[in-house]
A and B are shown apart, each in its own frame.
Chain A
């Protein structure tokens, strides 16, 4: 028998030279490094897949965040009014802007219910403001209880809520002061001059003086928010028999909110909801009665499908390109399980990097669009949903590719 010129091979690493066809069950990390090198080495396909996942994550995150932002705006006023435990209203009210005015006497009925510590009136209505250039702008006027000023703006930029007690005083929200209620510049081309404390407005032919600028959560309709006292709002509003929009009530310490709400409903014939319940009612109304969910749902669904299509197709093509090498690995002793784990690792890497890129871009949008008209709100659930959607895409992709690998004939390696 021939003898090696370099001496005989030693059985490597103390392994017996006997046939030992026991299963190869455990693999070390380096085997998976091969998978990563195969993936990253094919730069064109790697970046195409990253682009696909990042685009998908961006679309899902952005559209979901805008949807949630819009839904949040529908309850912006409730969000800005955390003081009362209960919102008391006409039972036919469907959402926060659906005003069904109550008789003023209802306020006293509410105050008379056992368990109610205090109850104040709230006016919420739309009035026309005449601007200094003669144009009109519909405003969302909030009339606060004169004594307590409960439900006032959450953050003051100029002035204070107490300034509402000054004659004809109104507080205007910052976005409106800089935009829809701003005064025109001296020339048509010059920028608008923001409304400031001391400026006057005409509200339904009544003079109003700006005594403060507030920062409030934007509303769904994005109309200017004008805060004033309840009695002044009664003066500004057109004469009607009933003008009381809501009664805001505080429950006595130690009383159960829901018990008091039930008692209120029973004794006054009105509905009483906690702020959280009222937000839920409002959001459900918009979900059920507007095209917003279906429009955004379609955009998110389309983003998901785009992801599946781009990533799936590119990865499948990557697997087909590598079929020969996967066949070699299979011939050399790689099990189907190992090949699947390698493919899963490849898709997972693409998924994780692409998802982070997409969500990063969406977060950038969030930062850029802060304090703008764009309703963008990204709670922690959105990245979680995006990550789950991306994981699903990578799993679908890996499974499709796996079918190809499972049916891979190792004999492919002998074909030239």
Chain B
């Protein structure tokens, strides 16, 4: 199985005034194509920074981070914009659906940004919404949907343009246990098809068992990689602690 993501000694610091705050301190990571990979760890440990680097949203300061063979740092701004538009799908904790667009229109956005015409884009968007179980909500505004339904729309949007990589930031933390489970089922059954790679940042220990592998981050480094929740040093039913 070929590697989708290969990070070697990746470092990243933030400059706040005159203070340099290291967020990533030499991260080493390898994620295979078709893998559902979870990043867990306490708040402020660098999880979101790491997926921002992987998604081509942030530049890393040192090391290398190759996504399907290319390091976003080596791309021009235009190439990186295209990389995000074509290769990456995003799912956010706060769903981030545009409130004045219908569900189908929200899902069609990545397709439109990739130059697809409106009619086929909407057709594809509706197809995706049907797949995530929202057949009856094609023309609904986000404000008329429950949290779980909005997250389904967000997943449909992340999948619509058939990206090779999907990054998710706390996709279930705003949802109840049952809805969170349903969302993860959709990820397992829909998002992973076609050898797609998923990287999920989460605090939600209830969904750890959906992962193929789990990496625990602490203080800007990956301190443990487990093949199942049971292998995690802090256990599957607890919130990962800073000293995992």
Contacts and interface: CB of A to CB of B under 8 A. Distances in A.
Given A6-B189, A335-B81, A30 B121 contact: yes
Contacts of B206: none
Interface string A38-53: 1011100000000000
Q: Is the interface of A mostly helix, strand, loop or mixed?
A: loop
Interface in B25-67: 34, 36, 48, 51-52, 55, 57-58, 67
Chain A CB within 10 Å — which of B36, B67, B161 has the most?
B161
Contacts, number: 169
A380 interface: no
A30 B121 CA distance: 10
Interface in A15-57: 15, 17, 19-31, 33-34, 37-38, 40-42
A345 interface: no
A333 B85 contact: yes
A1 interface: yes
B107 to A, nearest CB: 12
Given A6-B190, A8-B193, A9-B162, A334 B81 contact: yes
Interface stretch (A135-143, A321-329, A361-369): A321-329
B104 to A, nearest CB: 12
Contact of B194 (A17, A31, A38): A17
A3 B105 CA distance: 28
Nearest to B58: A411
B105 A333 contact: no
A333 B48 contact: no
A331 B194 CA distance: 23
Nearest to B76: A23
Contact of B87 (A19, A33, A329, A334): A19
Contact of B118 (A10, A30, A333): A30
Interface residues of A, number: 51
Given A328-B98, A329-B109, A414-B92, A20 B189 contact: no
A188 interface: no
Nearest to A11: B162
A2 interface: yes
18 contacts: A2-B192, A2-B193, A6-B131, A7-B193, A9-B194, A11-B162, A12-B116, A13-B124, A19-B68, A24-B85, A24-B114, A25-B78, A28-B117, A29-B118, A31-B112, A37-B98, A332-B110, A411-B58
Query: Nearest 6 A-B pairs (CB), nearest first?
Result: A333-B85, A41-B100, A4-B193, A30-B118, A23-B78, A21-B83
Interface of B: 34, 36, 48, 51-52, 55, 57-58, 67-70, 75-76, 78-87, 90, 92-94, 96, 98-101, 105, 108-118, 120-121, 124, 131, 159-162, 164, 169-170, 188-190, 192-196
Given A2-B193, A24-B114, A325-B96, 7 more contacts: A17-B164, A19-B86, A24-B85, A28-B117, A37-B105, A333-B113, A334-B85
